[in-house]
Amino acid sequence: MRFVFKQYTMHKAFLLVLMIFYNGLSSNAASSSVEARPKVVNIGALLSFDSSIGKVAKVAVEAAVDDVNRDQSVLGATKLQLNMRDTNYSGYMSMLGALSLMGSEVVAIIGPQFSVTAHFLSLIANELQVPLLSFAATDPTLSSPQYPFFVRTTHSDAFQMAAIADIVDYYGWRAVIAIYVDDDHGRNGIAALGDKLAQKRCKISYKAPFSPNMDQPNEISDVLYEVALMESRIIVLHAYPDTGLEVLKEARHLRMMGAGYVWIVTDWLSTKIDTYSPHLTEAMDDIQGVITLRMYAPDSQQKTKFAFGWSNLTSRNATGGAFGLNTYGLYAYDTVWLLAYAIDAFLNQKGNLSFSYHPGLSELQRENLHADAFKIFREGNWLLHSISQVNFTGLTGSIYFSDGNLVHPAYEVINVIETGFKRVGYWSNYSGLSVEPPEKLYTKPPSNSSQQLSSVIWPGQTVQGKRLRIGVPNRVFYHEFVSVQGTNVFSGYCIDVFTAAMKLLPYVVPYDFEAFGDGHSNPNTTELLRLISVGRYDAAIGDISITTDRARMVDFTQPFIESGLVVVAPVRKLNSSAWAFLRPFTPMMWLVTAIFFLVTGLVVWILEHRINGDFRGPPRRQIVTILWFSFSTLFFAHKEKTMSTLGRLVLIIWLFVVLVLNSSYIASLTSILTVEQLTSSIKGIESLVTSNEPIGYQRGSFAGNYLINEYKIDKSRLFPLNSAEDCIKALQDGPQKGGVAAVVDEKAYIELLLSSNCEFSIVGQEFSKNGWGFAFPRNSQLALEMSTAILKLSEGGELQRMHDKWLLGSACRSEGTKEDANRLHLTSFWVLFLICGLAFVLALLLYIIKTVRKFAKHRSEELEGSSSRSSPSVLFQAFLSFLDKMEEDVKSRPKRRRTDRRTSNRIIDGTGCASRNSGSSKSAIAALEV
């Protein structure tokens, strides 16, 4: 195998340092061939004996070696010789321990325990070809082809992060905060989490790393203070068991373990609980409501037997008291059996073990730096291949590899409550989240469409946490939206929407309403939102309009009601008029309709004039016929018959247009005469802007600034109004008595006002499109989750039911009646007129083509036998004359001429002496002329 350190320019210096570390270690003689089937095979283990994982793994590994050596069916007469090294949480000690083990001719090393150590030890293992079988190093990047001799006998954190991403997506959260230990284990795990979240269209909104050694006492506090300022409530904690508990303890001290927060913790917490559960009574108070994961091992008789005998194993091997069995202990036990099966398969194929000096260490040998202690396991590749081919059932279930990873990665989803925990579901990469054990789902087709978890008790449901301060505008009127009674009684449509949305959140958020305003004048909504940005309030709810300027200060939820600006003005009834029958159509509509009536009569006259006697006669009679025929089609009472195909086609199309116009006219006229019509001198915002009349608006609303900034209305024309009574009085008085000509306010308010004041009406169109939403601090996760809850209320119909409960008036509801609300405009019929016009043009075009062809034929017959040519003016006059003649007359005249010509020829041929008898010729010619 190529010496990997030659990839680096300072490989010699690195090896020299390794030799100095190892100086003084004893070495064996030069490599020699061993027996065909050795009696003892050396294996090593690198563990931190005092860690939560290491102390359990030490007992499990020793028990597994004993069980393998007792079982003659695995290695037969060959025994495993276990050499352990305590790394004591130190990367330096891990390196020395690995060098020491490799100098003792071990064929494989169980470990290392930590991902950070595994990175550089895997480089050494690559050179010496000694497989590393780690049951605890979960860094996803260790699966890289860069580390071929690193074999992970547990599940990669890539799967654990996929489980967390599915949990985040299951509850509808879109962003999380990641707190993690700042080393390879933490950074690479969180990087994998970011990738998995991106696949779910979620993200990590903020990363908060902390030192693995926590050299500074206040480091965790500083990190959590930064997290608290982010206002996000979904936190993922990826750490080591000991440091992770310190983070949760400090979080509780900072009141970040209360209601409204969600903590998702990687499997280190379940490992800590399983190992020290009876002794964690005080620490359990710090982790109430936390969600954590645990590697899943299916129940089996073999696992139950091992767990039952665990207390005997710990009492025999432990020096610091009894401790529990965690899942890493199960994987450590299975790792020994995996290695035993691989060694057995390897010995059956190769039969011997051999080691040789590394050729790259010859120079170090000459320097007498004990380089002879470092030997290459010559059959390391064979053993590595045997490991990848092992397939057996252990304490953790099926043990075999697929794409370098153990098959069937699965986790339990655990909710920490009271003095223990409850399992709320499972996760597997086969079926996602479920409440059924993964092994039951492996027999079914994979499906991620039915994700499911049991109910969860979130932080704060057992321990009181931080309560949100919700600012509510204390308005003087329109109490149907928000009503503040006393100091703690809040009601109204907006209050109902907020409380209903909060109930749909996947966790409990405690909150208190606080009235903003004195109740005597409307408060300034913009000032309320500013107080959110400075931290006085955690949110604001009520009738708060979403505008561009306000959105720069806070984050708004999805609008729960649409409400743009409208103009309301006094209206009066339209007086009855003798000309009321003209109202259904606009003047332009009347003009176009009249023109088409005349054009229709003219087109039909052109098409029928040459073949239909009803359309002939003196000019005066023909004009009367055209007019009569045109307007009689309105009542389908025309007496003239159409004889041409084109004429009938034109008439059918026009009668259809007349039918539509007639029906629309009758419907509109009926509405005008039966529905009360109101009118006002103000037609909308445009006419209001161009006038000099005073305008009223609600005090505290954004309408005043909007009119000044967008429509350049002078501030002197604007009058703030404090109550609904002020609006009514100002509109009734009008400009002449010190009132206003119109009031500009949001549509939701105006509709409520008009429900009991029918003398006013909305005039013109809504000219500002916006809505109402709840306000939260910038980048607030709660704003996103509340938006989702509001959408659920809308889709379920609950939002409409609350709207009808509070805002459905019963007196008179004006939707903005306008003077021309029921008038018919040309825009409603232009397509119909266009089709009709095209039909007219097409019919005339076909008629002209047909007539020109007939005229050409007729002209050729008239000039038959004549060589003279007519001038264009004569030809045009002849064509006009041809158009005015009946078609039957035109057809019969050539026939008479041909008959007369034949008669003349017979007379001339029967009188051979015509030339001699001039008297007879003259008589014949006279006869012809007669």
Q: Which has more pLDDT, 834 or 876?
A: 834
Predicted pLDDT at 382: 92
Predicted pLDDT at 466: 60
Q: Which has more pLDDT, 631 or 740?
A: 740
Mean pLDDT over residues 211-235, rounded? 83
Cα separation, 494 vs 483, in Å, equals 9
DSSP string, 673-711: HHS--EE-S--SHHHHHHS---EEEETTSSHHHHHHHHH
Q: With helix as H, strand as E and coil as C, how does 737-772 read?
A: HCCCCEEEEEHHHHHHHHCCCCCEEEEEEEEECCEE
Q: How confident is the model at residue 22 (pLDDT cuts 50, 70, 90)?
A: very low
Q: Which has more pLDDT, 59 or 25?
A: 59
Per-residue pLDDT reduced to its tens digit, 662-718:
888 888 877 766 654 556 667 788 888 888 889 999 887 888 888 998 888 998 999
Predicted pLDDT at 190: 96
Predicted pLDDT at 498: 95
Q: How confident is the model at residue 342 (pLDDT cuts 50, 70, 90)?
A: very high
How many C-beta neighbours within 10 Å does residue 715 have?
9
- Angstrom CA distances, 365 to 8, 104, 368, 493, stand at 21, 18, 5, 86
Q: Which has more pLDDT, 224 or 230?
A: 224
**Percentage of residues in the chain having pLDDT higher than 70:** 80
Average pLDDT, the chain: 80
- Angstrom CA distances, 597 to 452, 619, 635, 637, 650, stand at 70, 20, 12, 14, 12
DSSP string, 516-558: ES-SSS---HHHHHHHHHTTS-SEE-SS-B--HHHHTTSEE--
Predicted pLDDT at 319: 53
Q: Which has more pLDDT, 254 or 216?
A: 254
Q: Crossing angle of helices 830-862/887-910, nearest 10°?
A: 10
pLDDT at 819 over 50: no
Cα separation, 278 vs 314, in Å, equals 15
Q: The whole model's pTM is what?
A: 0.59
Predicted pLDDT at 151: 95
- Angstrom CA distances, 730 to 480, 711, 796, 815, stand at 22, 22, 41, 21
Rounded to a whole number of angstroms, the CA Rg of the chain reads: 49
Q: Across the strands, what pairs with 679?
A: 572
Which of 208, 164, 201 shows the shortest CA–CA distance to 187? 208
Q: Which has more pLDDT, 93 or 531?
A: 531
Which of 154, 104, 520 shows the shortest CA–CA distance to 330? 154
pLDDT at 191 over 90: yes
Q: Omega into 112 within 30° of 0, i.e. cis?
A: yes
Q: Which has more pLDDT, 268 or 752?
A: 268
Predicted pLDDT at 906: 56
pLDDT at 923 over 50: no
Cα atoms in the 13 Å half-sphere on the side-chain side of 640: 28
Mean pLDDT over residues 535-542, rounded? 90
The tokens describing 304, both together, are 């139950």
Q: Which residue type does 649 have?
A: L
Cα separation, 150 vs 167, in Å, equals 30
Which of 521, 513, 567, 561 shows the shortest CA–CA distance to 541? 513
- Angstrom CA distances, 493 to 406, 552, 833, 895, stand at 56, 26, 49, 92
pLDDT at 17 over 60: no
Mean pLDDT over residues 528-538, rounded? 89
Cα separation, 894 vs 596, in Å, equals 39
Task: Report yes or no: 26 and 372 within 8 Å, Cβ to Cβ.
Answer: no
Task: Report yes or no: 823 and 582 within 8 Å, Cβ to Cβ.
Answer: no
Per-residue pLDDT reduced to its tens digit, 501-522:
998 887 777 788 999 988 888 8
Predicted pLDDT at 160: 96
Per-residue pLDDT reduced to its tens digit, 139-171:
999 988 889 999 999 999 999 999 999 999 888
Predicted pLDDT at 80: 94
Cα separation, 248 vs 269, in Å, equals 10
User: Residue written as tokens 């959408």?
Assistant: 791
* Sheet hosting strand 718-721, strand order edge to edge: 718-721, 695-698, 742-746, 565-570, 760-768
Cα separation, 453 vs 436, in Å, equals 9
Please give the DSSP secondary-structure letter assigned to residue 420. E
Predicted pLDDT at 922: 42
The tokens describing 431, both together, are 């079926």
* 165-177 CB burial, b ≥16 within 10 A, e <16: bbbbbbbebbbbb
Q: How confident is the model at residue 1 (pLDDT cuts 50, 70, 90)?
A: very low
Q: How confident is the model at residue 361 (pLDDT cuts 50, 70, 90)?
A: low
Most confident of 237-251, 326-340, 810-824: 326-340
